[in-house]
Amino acid sequence: MRIREARLDDWSAIWPFMRDIAAAGETFSWDRDISEERARERWFPELPGRTVVAVDDDGAVLGTAVSGPNHEGPAGHVATASFMVDAARAGRGVGRALGRHVLDQARADGFRAMQFNAVVETNTRAVALWRSLGMEIVATLPQAFHHPAHGYVGLHVMYQLL
Ligand SMILES: CC(C)(COP(=O)(O)OP(=O)(O)OC[C@H]1O[C@@H](n2cnc3c(N)ncnc32)[C@H](O)[C@@H]1OP(=O)(O)O)[C@@H](O)C(=O)NCCC(=O)NCCS
């Protein structure tokens, strides 16, 4: 597996699993029926936003991440990021590799901290993964996310100095 900058022509490989993740409504604070156009705008932000893909030896896209400044001006040194791995490729280390890459890149870009704004508390796989990469839960916003199976659950704000 390797991680490289995403190209616009990766979109056709990203959108099918992104659409499924959004439609499930379990992990992302997006409309479950988000349009393809809106999703693409969110995943390919203006510079200095960065979009990467994890690809296998055949070049197939396994997962993707987007990162960039979480704030502007005096708080512009805090980065944020989002991650999606194709469910068919989950549990093979893609999320961990993307997480490590994004944290290293943010450090190299001069950001002083990383903030994940909205990690659903029932997304225990993601919470454990981000904690193992040094992210800490600094707050949990009670009932901030309406989960299709669990009802109103908390959203973690996770943070680490880089
Ligand atoms: C969360 C997500 C990015 C993780 O990606 P992934 O490629 O499956 O993760 P990895 O294979 O790197 O596994 C990471 C950890 O998850 C755990 N894990 C893996 N498979 C698991 C499973 N089937 N059940 C529970 N935990 C599992 C392992 O503890 C693993 O840690 P390890 O490296 O010490 O073994 C991915 O599941 C995803 O895209 N989910 C939907 C969108 C989402 O939740 N994005 C993040 C929002 S904060």
- Calculate what percentage of the chain has a pLDDT beyond 70: 100
What six digits make up the tokens of 72? 């502007």
Average pLDDT, stretch 16-34? 98
Q: What was the pLDDT predicted at 35?
A: 98
Q: What is the pLDDT of residues 65-93, one digit of tens each?
A: 999 999 999 999 999 999 999 999 999 99
Reported as a single tens digit per residue, the pLDDT across 30-60 is 999 999 999 999 999 999 999 999 999 999 9
- Ligand 1 atom closest to the Cα of residue 96 is 12
pLDDT at residue number 117: 98
Q: Which residues contact 82 (CB under 8 A, 6 or more apart)?
A: 28, 65, 66, 67
Instruction: Dump strand ranges (E) for 29-133.
Output: 50-55, 61-69, 78-85, 113-120
CATH topology for 2-161 is Aminopeptidase (3.40.630)
- Please tell me the pTM assigned to this model: 0.95
Measured in Å, residue 69 CA sits from the centre of ligand 1 at: 24
Tokens of 101: 């890459």
Q: Any idea where the domains of the chain sit in the sequence? A: 2-161
Nearest CA to ligand 1 atom 33: 93
Shortest-distance atom of ligand 1 to CA 119? 48
